[in-house]
Structure formats: C-alpha cells, structure tokens
Amino acid sequence: MRRDAIRDKVAVVGVGCCRFGENWDQSPSDMIVDAAYEAYADAGIEDPQRQIDAVFTGSIYSNKGPHECSDALKLFGKPVTMVSNYCATGTDAFRCGVMSIAAGLYDTVLVVGYDKPKDRGVSGPSVMMDRVRDLPQTPAGWFALCAATYFAKYGAGREELAKIAVKNHRNGTLAPNSFLKREITVEEALGARMISWPFGLYDCAAQTDGAAAAVITRADLAPKGAVLVKGVAVIAGPNPQKDPENDFLSWKPTGWAAAEVYAQAGVTRPFEEIDVAQVHDCFTLTELLTYEDLGLIEKGAAKEHIEAGTFELSGKLPVNTDGGLKAFGHPTGATGVRMIYENVLQLRGKAGPRQVRDASLALSHNIGGHPTACGIAILGKS
C-alpha cells in the first residue's frame, strides 16, 4: 500500500461533541444533531445539505443502519454509510471519511460516531451470548485476561491500575462534556467492589450515551493552519481467546496498527514526537498495555512511568487529557470521534485548563472486540 496516500491530504475543519452521560431524555437523533451542528458551526458550514458530499457514521448498537443519521440530519440525496468495528468503530468511520477524500471522491465529508446503550432494552451492561460455548462474562472479563500474566512477568499490580483511574478521573473534571466529574483516590479505587479481577469498579469505563462529529475536507480547500490528518489505520487481529500464539502480555492489534500509522505519518520516535495521546482506557489495564503496545515506552516499563507521572497532564506525554473513556463513558461508536474532537482542540490550543502546551502531534487509539481490532489516528498541525 502507499504510505503517503493519506498524510497531509485531509484537514479536520470542524468538530462537535455532545455531553456524554446517561442521556435519559435524549434520543440518538438528538445527540447526533447536537454533535453535527456543533461541528458544522465550527467548520463554518451553513448549508450542510449542499456542502456535505457524503456521510460516514459509526454505531454498534443501532439497528436502523445509516438512515438513523441521515434522517436526524436530513442529509438525503448523498451517500451515507454505517461502519461497525467494535470499539474501533469511531476511528474506522473517521478513516473511511479520510480515505474517501484522499481518493479524490469528495471534497467535504461528515463523520458521526454515536451510540445509545441506555436504549438497548437491558438494564446494565449486557452479557453477550449467542452461541452455546459463550462463557458468561462481560468485556471486563475479556480485557482482564492480560492481568495475571502481565503482573507475574513485570511486577505491576492493582496500585498502578488505580493510579491510571485517579489520573483519568482528575482529567475528566476539566472536560465540560465528560460524564464523571469527580476526583478519586488510589485507596477508593483499590477498595471498590470487584467486577472482574483485577478490575474493581473504578478500573472500568462507565456505559454512557453520546455522539461526536467531525467535518473533514480536502487540505487544499481548508483554511490556513487547519489540523491535518497525518495517518489513520485500522487493523484486525486474531481472537485472543483462541489464538494459539497469544502471550497475554499485550494486545496484538495495537502494535500492528501503530506500525502502520507511524509509517503513514513518518513517525519514527513516537515518545519524542507525539505530544498528546487519547488511548482506549475501557479498563485501566488496557491503557497500561497501550503505553507499551504503541511503542511509547519499553515493554514492561509501564510501572515505572506510571510512578514517574509520565502520562499525567503535567508529564512528558499526557494521555487521556479529557479523562478518556473513564470519565466520558464509552458509547462505542462515539468514542473514537470524541478522541478526534479532543485532539483537534489540543492542536488548536483550545483545550482550556487541560491544554497541553505546544501540542503539535496528537494520537488517538481505539481497541475493541475480544480485542480483535485496533484503530489509530494521528493528527498534526499544518
């Protein structure tokens, strides 16, 4: 494939994000409209029916397909596509939009990620079982499977996980659209009720409703100084529950997607070059593994970096500056686009009290399934 097909070809000119939470009084359409119209306003789009050429939307819970989005926004007479790729859905919808512009098909595309788990007809997180041998367990049980092995090999433990939760809770208090706005302590995190060992309640992202949107356009049509797409990759991996070669010390798709996106973006020393990152902290351990799987630090070095505060807002490489999935919850299709929103604010210097100084290269990362797919996007200044 051509490594230079994406880099600097596409600009993100508008972003929007609704308030994430238990949005009991909002329908999916309400949230889509809030996020998309904020992105329109941000991009200076006054006549979306004329100015938007195509729509890529992502959701894993919607059973209405792309029509839910096109009907909410009354975007008819143009292609509207729905993307579904587990928790990487948002990043994949963004990638499809970016590819369509880079390929020269469209000038301006709307990307909308959303999900409304609170409307699914079940109370609380679902336990998905559609075949006989599906074990009674939740996503916490899937993502916890690296813990026993990682802890045994590298000596980290629940304290390091708790510090990640504390960081993200703190960052979440600084983000206007976050769901949880409460700081917690390491002791609270360690003392909370167990969900799936080693994950206590505070190691888990909440389940929320939300929508986020981005307007992307050809770089040569964008205003000077607009945020540019440096690379975007989505990679599939084997199901770790049956992969005969899994060592349960890392999640394979992240390493593969990182190699691909770094090649696109020309990043060779990620820890030095990337200024801010939003990574998939569905569970605290997922964030810990992602530090290493992205190649930001050596394998096994997470413990010392967590202790040193490397990934704190004041650290060398702030991660999850808005509080991440921990503080926003995880409306699956929305999450990747919500990360794009945060990174665009960071690159524009408009992230308020959580602003990372002089951020010029920003990474966002989703991993989903068992996990079986990873999406990474790198944005940068012109």
> What is the spatial distance between Cα 337 and Cα 98, in angstroms, rounded to a whole number?
13
Please report, as residue ranges, which positions from 226 to 245 form the binding site for other proteins (by CB under 8 A): 238, 240-245
Q: Is 67 tagged catalytic?
A: no
Q: What is the number of alpha carbons within 13 Å of residue 230 lying toward its C-beta?
A: 27
370 is catalytic: no
Residues 114, 73 contacting (CB under 8 angstroms): no
Q: Which is nearer to other proteins, 153 or 181 (CB)?
A: 153
d(CA 126, CA 122): 7
First-to-last alpha carbon distance for the chain, in angstroms, is: 24
Nearer to other proteins, 46 or 130 (CB): 130
The pair phi, psi for residue 170, each rounded to 5°, is -65, -50
Active-site hit among 17, 18, 69, 87: 87
Q: Provide the mask over 152-181, with x wherever binding to other proteins is found by CB under 8 A and - wherever it is not.
A: x-----------------------------
CB of 249 vs other proteins, minimal distance in Å: 10
Binding-residue total with other proteins (CB under 8 A): 36
For other proteins, which residue of 3, 181, 197, 309 counts as binding (CB under 8 A)?
197
Interface with other proteins, residue 191, by CB under 8 A: no
Select 34 or 160, whichever has its Cβ closest to other proteins. Answer: 160
Go through the chain and tell me how many residues it has. 382
Nearest 10 degrees: Cα torsion 26, 32, 38, 39:
160
- State the Cα–Cα distance between residues 128 and 149, nearest whole angstrom: 25
Binding track, positions 112-151, relative to other proteins; x by CB under 8 A: -------------x-x-xxxxxxxxxx-xx--xxxxxx--
Q: Which of 196, 286, 332, 372 binds other proteins (CB under 8 A)?
A: 196
Catalytic residue among 280, 330, 365, 370: 330
> Which amino acid would we find at residue 318?
P
**63 is an interface residue for other proteins by CB under 8 A:** no
Contact yes or no for 159/303 (Cβ under 8 A): no
Q: How far is the CB of 382 from other proteins (least distance, A)?
A: 43
Max Cα–Cα distance, the chain, nearest Å: 58
The Cα–Cα gap between 324 and 364 comes to 10
Q: Which residues of this protein are in contact with other proteins, per CB under 8 A?
A: 125, 127, 129-138, 140-141, 144-149, 152, 193-198, 238, 240-246, 248
